[in-house]
């Protein structure tokens, strides 16, 4: 699905792992399960503090948190810290260890701790705050590697907490230079919305596809563009959050359109397998029309787009935004060669005035959302990729 693992295009990084944490958004675990005495649990639950907790103490997982070992974006936190920050379970936070080390995480569990400043994460999560030490990023584009677990950090360390994930007031050019994440929103009077939750270096060219398709169809468009420590690596490790978990409360521009009643939403994402898959919860007839339009816009010798059962979960961001959600997942090599043809095919399926077989297409050849940076190739040689929807 929209998961291409680190520096690779991937489908779901761990199809064998139970779908993302069943306790997400659930009530607080019992004191017995947490390994706390009743007295310490009551103290942790009832204690009211005036602290703002601008920093948290990052610790490893507790003995009863095995479910999080292979969940690099997941953290647990003491409920007092969450209350002080105004954070709910299910929201994202940005954790900053140094000026050059920061990443996005999802709060998946509120867990009473002896110290209210404690946040817990697996080694795969700590590794995401240790990307700038020269370690190579995985570069095999034909496989879906698991999360990285190696890091040079100690058992405990401090990190600043922010309830907003994107960097405010930064341009895409500045974000690429600084390894940051930014949002781009174009609001138009339309019942359509095009999104790219994993643009920039995470899944290259998906943000450009969303922007181009929105231009052609007069649709609203939202893109999240993230980069890593280098233009070619680390973006997925640093910023990727499964679209089933993305909370508009943590992405201000997304929050502006989250309550809009769109008829159709389209998500441009990545996949491990070759080719193009058209999934989502939209009616089969609409997905077939999109598939056929993409195939007509593509060169005849290219692998054909196919329907997929992926992307049907109600929790998928695209399905939350539109009555009909369409999930376009594409391999890295397919996007690199035909990102514009695919985007035009999607637009032609939704706009009667466009011919999917047209040789000359409106706006053909334009680069939209990924600016050039002096001395850098605009097409990264080692893309980052995701691991879940």
Tell me what pLDDT residue 190 has: 82
Res. 272 pLDDT band, cuts 50 70 90: confident
Per-residue model confidence (pLDDT) at position 143: 43
- Confidence at 374, pLDDT banded by 50, 70, 90: very low
Cβ-count burial of 31 within 10 angstroms (0-12 exposed, 13-18 middle, 19+ buried)? middle
Backbone angles phi, psi at 33, to 5 degrees: -65, -30
pLDDT at 361: 72
The Cα 293–Cα 315 span in angstroms is 27
pLDDT of residue 28: 30
Q: CA Rg, the chain, in Å?
A: 21
pLDDT of 140 > 80? The answer is: no
Please give the pLDDT value at position 273. 75
Question: Is this prediction's pTM over 0.85?
Answer: no
Q: For residues 309 and 279, is the Cβ–Cβ distance under 8 A?
A: yes
Hey, what's the torsion of the CAs at 109, 115, 117, 122, to 10 degrees?
A: -50
One DSSP character per residue, 177-200 reads: HHT-EEEEEE--SSSEEEEEEEEE
Span 14-40, average pLDDT: 34
pLDDT level of residue 233 (50, 70, 90 thresholds): confident
Give the Cα separation of 56 and 298 in Å (integer). Answer: 50
Do the beta carbons of residue 306 and residue 39 sit within 8 Å?
Answer: no
Which candidate, 133, 41, 55, places its Cα nearest to that of 94? 55
**What is the pLDDT at residue 34?**
37
Give the C-alpha separation, 241 to 305, whole Å. 26
CB hemisphere CA count around 370 (13 angstroms) = 24
Which is nearest to 286 in space by CA: 307, 305, 269?
307
pLDDT recorded at residue 286: 98
pLDDT at 385 over 90: no
DSSP per position, 314-358? TTSHHHHHEEEEEEEEE-HHHHHHHHHHHHHHHHHHH-TT--TT-
Which backbone phi and psi does 102 adopt, to 5 degrees? -155, 160
- Name residue 224's beta-bridge partners: 183
Say what the pLDDT of residue 149 is.
82
Q: How many beta carbons lie within 10 A of that of residue 273, not counting itself?
A: 17
Rounded Cα distance, 360 and 351, in Å: 16
Res 1: pLDDT? 45
If you average pLDDT over residues 357-373, what whole number do you get?
Answer: 58
Q: How far apart are CA 350 and CA 341, in angstroms?
A: 15
Instruction: Find the mean pLDDT for residues 261-280.
Output: 92
pLDDT band at 300 (very low <50, low <70, confident <90, very high): confident
Tell me: pLDDT of 32 over 70.
no
- Give the rounded percent of residues in the chain with a pLDDT score beyond 90: 65
- The Cβ of residue 50 has, within 10 Å, a number of other Cβ atoms equal to 5
Task: Return the closest-CA partner of residue 172 out of 97, 110, 225.
Answer: 225
Q: What are phi and psi of 97, to 5 degrees?
A: -90, -45
Q: For position 70, what pLDDT does the model report? A: 86
The residue that leads in pLDDT, 304 or 230, is: 304
Q: pLDDT tens digit string along 65-121?
A: 999 998 999 999 999 999 999 999 999 999 999 999 999 999 999 999 999 999 999
pLDDT band, very low/low/confident/very high, at 136 (cuts 50, 70, 90): low
387 token code pair: 């691991």
- Mean pLDDT on 217-225: 97
Q: What mean pLDDT do residues 2-21 have? A: 37
With residue 76 as reference, give the H or E element that holds it: strand 74-77
Residue 40 has pLDDT above 80, yes or no: no
Residues 6 or more apart whose Cβ sits within 8 Å of residue 308 = 277, 278, 279, 327, 329
pLDDT band at 185 (very low <50, low <70, confident <90, very high): very high
Q: Given this model, what pLDDT does residue 172 score?
A: 95
Asked whether the predicted pLDDT for residue 318 surpasses 70, the reply is yes
- Burial category of 70 from C-beta neighbours within 10 Å (exposed 0-12, middle 13-18, buried 19 and up): middle
Mean pLDDT of the chain: 81
Would you place residue 168 in the very low, low, confident or very high pLDDT band (cuts 50, 70, 90)?
A: confident
Across 305-316, average pLDDT: 94
pLDDT of residue 37: 38
Q: Is the pLDDT of residue 19 over 80?
A: no
């Amino acid at each position: 699905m929209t998961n291409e693992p680190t520096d690779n295009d991937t489908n779901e990084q761990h199809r064998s792992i139970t779908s993302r944490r069943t306790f997400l958004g659930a009530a607080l675990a019992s004191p017995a399960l947490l390994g706390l005495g009743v007295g310490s649990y009551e103290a942790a639950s009832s204690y009211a503090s005036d602290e703002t907790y601008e920093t948290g103490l990052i610790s490893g997982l507790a003995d009863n948190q095995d479910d999080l070992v292979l969940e690099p974006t997941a953290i647990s936190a003491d409920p007092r810290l969450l209350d002080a920050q105004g954070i709910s379970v299910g929201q994202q936070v940005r954790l900053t260890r140094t000026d050059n080390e920061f990443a996005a995480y999802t709060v998946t569990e509120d867990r009473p701790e002896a110290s209210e400043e404690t946040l817990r994460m697996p080694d795969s999560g700590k590794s995401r705050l240790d990307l700038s030490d020269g370690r190579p990023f995985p570069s095999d584009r034909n496989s879906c590697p698991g999360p990285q677990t190696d890091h040079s950090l100690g058992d405990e360390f401090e990190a600043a907490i922010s309830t907003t994930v994107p960097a405010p007031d930064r341009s895409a050019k500045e974000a690429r230079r600084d390894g940051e994440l930014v949002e781009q929103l174009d609001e138009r009077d339309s019942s359509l919305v095009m999104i790219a939750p994993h643009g920039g270096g995470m899944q290259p060219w998906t943000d450009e596809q969303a922007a181009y398709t929105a231009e052609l169809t007069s649709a609203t468009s939202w893109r999240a563009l993230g980069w890593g420590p280098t233009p070619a690596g680390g973006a997925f490790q640093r910023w990727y959050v499964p679209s089933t978990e993305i909370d508009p409360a943590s992405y201000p521009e997304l929050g502006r359109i989250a309550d809009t009643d769109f008829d159709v939403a389209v998500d441009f994402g990545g996949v491990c397998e070759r080719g193009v898959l058209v999934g989502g919860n939209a009616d089969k007839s609409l997905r077939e029309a999109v598939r056929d339009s993409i195939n007509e816009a593509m060169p005849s010798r290219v692998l054909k787009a196919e329907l997929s059962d992926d992307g049907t979960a109600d929790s998928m961001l695209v399905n939350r935004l539109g009555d009909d959600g369409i999930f376009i997942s594409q391999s890295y090599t397919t996007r690199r060669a035909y990102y514009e043809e695919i985007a035009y095919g999607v637009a032609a399926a939704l706009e009667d005035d466009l011919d999917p077989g047209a040789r000359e297409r409106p706006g053909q050849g334009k680069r939209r959302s990924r600016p050039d940076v002096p001395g850098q190739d605009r097409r990264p040689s080692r893309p980052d990729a995701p691991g879940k929807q």
